[in-house]
Structure 1
Amino acid sequence: MMWIASAHTLFNEYDAEEDWAWANGLTQLHAGAAVSRGFVITRLKRNIDKTRPDGGGQSFPSGHAARSYYPAWYIYHRYGFKQAAPYLLAATYSGYTRVDAKRHYWSDIAASAAITYAISHYMTSSADDPAQPKFGVGFGGDGVWFNYDWRW
C-alpha cells in the first residue's frame, strides 16, 4: 500500500514548474511509516508478546495492519476522507484477512489502526493547511534540511 500512497502523492503534488514540491508529502509518508512500523509497532510486539489465536507469539499489535493503515491515515490527513476511503477499506480488509487466518484478534487490528492514526496525525500536514503538525524536508543551494513543526 506504500507504493500506491506514494504514487497518489506524486499524482496530487508533482508540479514540473516547482522543484521538489512533492518532497514533503513523500517524506511525511515514509518517515511516518518508518516510525510507526519500524519503531513503535515492532517494540510493542516484542515487549508485550501476546499469544496469537493460532498459538504463536507477538500478536499485539498487528504489523500487517499497521503497514496497511498508516498509508490510509496519511492520505486521510493529507487529502481528506474522500480520497482516503478506498485506502481505509483496503486496510480494514487486510485486518479482516489476518483475523480470518487466525493470526490476530480484532483488538490487535484496532490497536494498529489507532497507533498509526496518532502517528500520522503528528507526522502529516494537510496539503491545504500547512499550519497543521508536520514533518518537512527542503532542498536549497546549500543542501537538504529537515524540519518538524508541532503546533497545538
Structure 2
Amino acid sequence: MKSIIVFIAVIVSLIPPENPKLTIKISNIEKMQGTIKVGVFNTDKNFLKEGAAIKNYSIIVEKSTAALTITDLPKGHYAVTMYHDENSDHKMNTNFLGIPKEPYGFSNNVKPKMSAPKYEDCKFNLSEDQTLHIKLIN
C-alpha cells in the first residue's frame, strides 16, 4: 500500500502545473487593416530589442478592439509590448528620429514621454488568470 502511495505521489509531481491564462484586450484601433504584433518579455535585458521577446503573437485586425488569450506562459514577471502593423510590412515604422509612425502600446498602459519605457515600468506579475487592458497610442 505504501508503495502505491509513493508511486501516485511521484506521478502527480511529474504533471506540470497549469499555466495561468493571460487575456489581453486591446482598444483604440483606428484602422481596420494589418495585424497587431505582440511581444512578451521576462527580463529587462534587451527589452524592446527586435528578436528578444520570449514569445511573439499576431492578431489580425478586424474591429476597433481585439483580444488575445495566452496560455503558454508559466507564472512569473512579464512585460507586454505591441504595435499595429498597419501596412503589414512586419516592422514598426518610425520617423527619422525613431518616433513610431504606427500605433503601439505597453502593459500597464505606459505612455512614453521622451524615451522608450523601461521593463520595470511595464512589468506585471502573472500568478493567476489575469486580464490586461491596453489602449493603443496613436
TM-score greater than 0.5 by the shorter chain? no
More helix by share: 1
Higher strand share: 2
Q: Which has the higher contact order (CA 8 A, sep 6+)?
A: 2
TM-score (norm 2): 0.30
